[in-house]
Amino acid sequence: MRLTQRDIDKLTCPSGRRDRLVFDDVQKGLAIRVTATGSKSYLTQYTIGGQRRRVPLGSCAAISLSMARAAAAQIMGGVAMGTDTVAEREAKAEAERVAAERAQLTLAVVVSAWKELYLSRKRARYAHEAVRALGRAFARQWNLPAEDLDRDTVVRALDGLAKQGRLSMASRTAAYGRACFSWALKRGTVQTNPFSSLPAIGERPKRERVLADEELAAIWRAAQEMPQPFGAIVHLLILTGQRVSEVSGMRWNELSADFSTWLIPSQRAKNGTAHLVPLPEPARELLRGFPRVSELVMPGREPTSPFSGWSKARASLDVLSNVYNWTLHDLRRTMATGLQRLGIRLEVTEAVLNHVSGTRGGVAGVYQRHDWAAEKRAALENWAQHVMMLIQGTEPTTDVHLNRQR
């Protein structure tokens, strides 16, 4: 039919049929689809590669017949050149869908999923540190597609940390990123891991710092000037030698009524072994001064949240104490070394630290069931007395060593 606007207005769909196609004799491939409901629309129909294709052009009420003929002529011209308009449109739509999904799958989303689905099985402190480290190192890329994080960007970010003298942080950040993207790669979330086969960042410095007596005293005095609970956390780290996460996460139900003992439950101990810590008098006196506002003894800004803001607090402590290039973990090593200087037996020191290797590992650990409770208390009381003398500026006397374990 040589279509005219008058013909189009008169077109109807035969009774009992869903639709009807009426082709134009003027423009090859152009047709009008009339449905049982009375709607009318233009389309172009062609065959390519043995497959019949239809390209919707629009409602007859929206575009004119001449416009429809022009659009059909363009499509049919492309078909003559081997162009499949339908396939092109489908490919474009798929590309747009993939791009939209890619844009929504930001680095923040990937890391968040990693934290929720994988890191939830890890230690809480590791999970927190991993997410924090990646967030700080890649803050500019945080809300951009994870697929956009390429190797060059990763190398430059890690090099920046290394140039700041933060080799340990650079190494840990690389490890966190490698683990996160390896997990995402296995799930098909990303196609590549920009953290794999990275150039050497530099050796991670060995943790072997032992503070001198003067440095330990300076840190104690500086901690007295720090806001709570950070100052108290530092004091308890010095007095007990326990791990940072264990001290900062201390709960009231872990303490005895008279504060003489502290039982770290297995789920909070790094090695998964419950640990009884006899508390020396200076530690007991410190704990008596804290109000009970939540289950945490030393909460952070929120009563139910542990202390945060370690970097800022540490920087202030370094300035106040004038002691630099040390970590909070060094306080644990310093106490262990100090106990040896005081003549405490190695087995007792390991019991104080809740170490399950060394003299408490292997076969010896299986058959050695002595809990060293009395010896641990004597050792920690001796250590606390030693620390108090350092703070007071007096030389430790032989009285400090009365309770040595032989």
- Per CATH, the homologous superfamily of domain 5-90 is Integrase, DNA-binding domain (3.30.160.390)
Predicted pLDDT at 221: 96
CA dist 111 and 130 (Å) reads: 9
Predicted pLDDT at 202: 58
- Scan for tokens 């979330």, then name that residue: 189
Residue 62: how many other CB atoms lie within 10 Å = 11
pLDDT tens digits, 314-352 = 989 999 999 988 999 999 999 999 999 999 999 999 999
| pLDDT at residue 188 greater than cutoff 60 | yes
Contact, 282 vs 388, CB < 8 A? yes
pLDDT tens digits, 32-57 = 999 999 999 999 999 988 888 999 99
**If one looks up domain 107-187 in CATH, what number appears?**
1.10.150
Predicted pLDDT at 369: 47
Which pairs count as long-range contacts for 171-174, CB under 8 Å and 24+ apart, including other chains? 171/201, 171/202, 171/204, 172/129, 172/133, 173/133, 173/134, 173/137, 174/198, 174/201
Q: 146, exposed or middle or buried, with CB in 10 Å at 0-12, 13-18, 19+?
A: buried
Is it true that 107-187 and 213-401 share their CATH fold? no
Predicted pLDDT at 355: 82
CA dist 194 and 255 (Å) reads: 47
pLDDT tens digits, 122-158 = 888 888 999 999 999 999 999 998 888 999 999 999 9
pLDDT tens digits, 294-318 = 999 999 988 888 898 898 899 899 9
Predicted pLDDT at 402: 37
The DSSP-derived string for 24-69 is: -SSSTTEEEEEETTS-EEEEEEEEETTEEEEEEEEETTTS-HHHHH
CA dist 247 and 298 (Å) reads: 9
- Cα dihedral 20, 23, 29, 33, rounded to 10, equals -30
For the chain, the domains span: 5-90, 107-187, 213-401
| More confident position, 247 or 97 | 247
In the 3-class helix/strand/coil scheme, how is 348-382 assigned residue by residue? HHHHHHCCCCHHHCHHHHHHCCCCCHHHHHHHHHH
| pLDDT at residue 216 greater than cutoff 90 | yes
Amino acid found at 76: M
- Scan for tokens 């960042």, then name that residue: 201
pLDDT range class, residue 403, cuts 50, 70, 90? very low
Peptide bond just before 229 cis, omega within 30 deg? yes
Predicted pLDDT at 21: 93
**In percent, how much of the chain has pLDDT > 90?**
59
pLDDT tens digits, 235-273 = 999 999 999 999 999 999 999 999 999 999 989 888 888
213-401 CATH fold: hpI Integrase; Chain A (1.10.443)
